[in-house]
Structure 1
Amino acid sequence: MEFAEVVRRRRMIRNYTDEPVDPAVIDRLLTHAIHAPSAGFSQGWSFLRLDTPSDVRRFWEASTPPGEGTDAWSEGMRRAPVIIVPLSCKRAYLDRYAAADKGWTDRDESRWPVPYWDIDTGMAALLMLLTAVDEGLGACFFGIPPERIPAFRTTFGVPADYTPIGAITIGHRAPDRRSPSLKRGRRALDDVVHRGHWGNASTS
């Protein structure tokens, strides 16, 4: 598939069949993920691969608030046979930038204008979403409720210095309703691109 077509087709898929996904495809998704850019080549990410019915079930049990998970959205999502959880590690970045070639030995977080550990892990997640499209699969990135993160950590033995930035369901697409959010439409380039100066005011 041409890259432009992959980008055009990418959207969040919330309804899946129960058809298994070839493990080799998941290998390719993860291989592409580690080619994402990272500040200082810190690569402070890890990926929890859940691709057995037992692990997928345990994920939903750990990450879903009590009393939730019975709506149509959840039913479609829970049929996905694979979940990848991208995790970021701030420590890896602070360690890397305290090295001799960087010299931030004070490890002061205020040096960082934004949390690159989360941004870089997010870019790795996007590569997985695009790879899923290229492989003819559907995928959806979604958040784990903050109050459920402790249960998620305990269930899967995730170290305290790794933070899940979200989770990605992966599977074969089933027919689904268009998300109500799509009714908003995609913003035009002229609405989001500011060339040379923000807004229409001229500069002198």
Structure 2
Amino acid sequence: MEFREVVRRRRMVRRYSDAPVDPDVVDRMLAHAQRAPNAGFTQGWAFLVLDTPADVARFWESTGADPGTHNAWLDGMRTAPVVIVPLTSKRAYLDRYAQPDKGWTDRAEGRWPVPYWWVDAGMASLLVLQTAVDEGLGACFFGIPGEHVASFREAFGVPEDHAPVGAITVGHRLADTGAQGSPARRERRDDVVHRGRW
């Protein structure tokens, strides 16, 4: 598929078939994610891959999705056979930029007006989403509720110096009928590009 078609087709998919995802495809997603730009070539990211029914169920339980709770969004999302959780390490960036070739020996966070540990993990996540499209799959990036980050960490042994940026469901796409009662689909804005002056 041509790159422009991958970009055009990329959308958040919220309902999946029960067909398994080829592990080789998941490996390609992760290989592509690791090619994302990253400040100082820090590579301060990690990816938790959950691809067994038990691990996927534990993910939903640990992030607050009570198995007895039903709503259109959650019921659809829980059909994904794979969940990838991109994580980032602020410490890795502070350590990297304290090395001699960078020279910021004080490790001060104030030197980072933009926290690139979040930005870089976001770019890596986008490559997972684009690879899913290129492989004929669906995917959706969404956040882990703040009040459930600690239980997520405990469930999967995530170290304290790594923070989840969100999570990505991956699977074979089904037609998305949308959540009942949801507003009409929003159109893409065309007033976001400014040339030369705002």
TM-score normalised to structure 2 length: 0.95
Distance 1:175 1:86 in 2: 26
Secondary structure, in 3 states, of the residue corresponding to 2:47? strand
Amino acid at match of 1:183: R
RMSD between superposed Cα atoms in Å: 1.4
Distance 2:184 2:140 in 1: 15
Per the alignment, do residues 127 and 68 of structure 1 end up closer, same or farther by CA in structure 2, a change over 3 Å counting?
farther
Q: Which residue of 2 aligns with 1:99?
A: 99
Q: Which residue of 1 aligns with 2:74?
A: 74
Distance 1:165 1:181 in 2: 27
Tell me which moved more, 172-181 or 75-84.
172-181
Q: Which residue of 2 aligns with 1:187?
A: 189
Higher Cα radius of gyration: 1
| CA drift at 1:65 | 5.2
| CA drift at 1:193 | 1.2
Q: Which residue of 1 aligns with 2:150?
A: 150
Amino acid at match of 1:193: V
Quick check: 1:14–1:73 contact (8 Å CA) kept in 2? yes
| CA drift at 1:76 | 1.0
| CA drift at 1:164 | 0.2
Gaps of 5+ in 2: none
Quick check: 1:77–1:169 contact (8 Å CA) kept in 2? yes
Per the alignment, do residues 160 and 6 of structure 1 end up closer, same or farther by CA in structure 2, a change over 3 Å counting?
same
The alignment status of 1:169 with 2:169, answered yes or no, reads: yes
TM-score normalised to structure 1 length: 0.92
Distance 1:152 1:26 in 2: 21
Compare the two structures and name the one with the higher helix fraction.
1
| CA drift at 1:194 | 1.2
| CA drift at 1:197 | 1.0
Distance 1:6 1:181 in 2: 26
| CA drift at 1:184 | 2.1
Q: Percent identity?
A: 66
Secondary structure, in 3 states, of the residue corresponding to 1:86? strand
Quick check: 2:141–2:168 contact (8 Å CA) kept in 1? yes
Per-residue CA distance 1:3-41 (angstroms, 9 max, x = gap):
000000000000001110000000000000000000000
Per the alignment, do residues 139 and 196 of structure 1 end up closer, same or farther by CA in structure 2, a change over 3 Å counting?
same
Distance 2:188 2:178 in 1: 14
Quick check: 1:65–1:148 contact (8 Å CA) kept in 2? no
Q: Which residue of 2 aligns with 1:202?
A: none
Aligned ranges for residues 128-139 of structure 1 at < 5 Å? 128-139=128-139
Per the alignment, do residues 181 and 5 of structure 1 end up closer, same or farther by CA in structure 2, a change over 3 Å counting?
farther
Distance 1:159 1:91 in 2: 12
Per-residue CA distance 1:130-162 (angstroms, 9 max, x = gap):
000000000000000000000000000000010
Secondary structure, in 3 states, of the residue corresponding to 2:185? helix
Q: Which residue of 1 aligns with 2:54?
A: 54
Q: Which residue of 2 aligns with 1:7?
A: 7
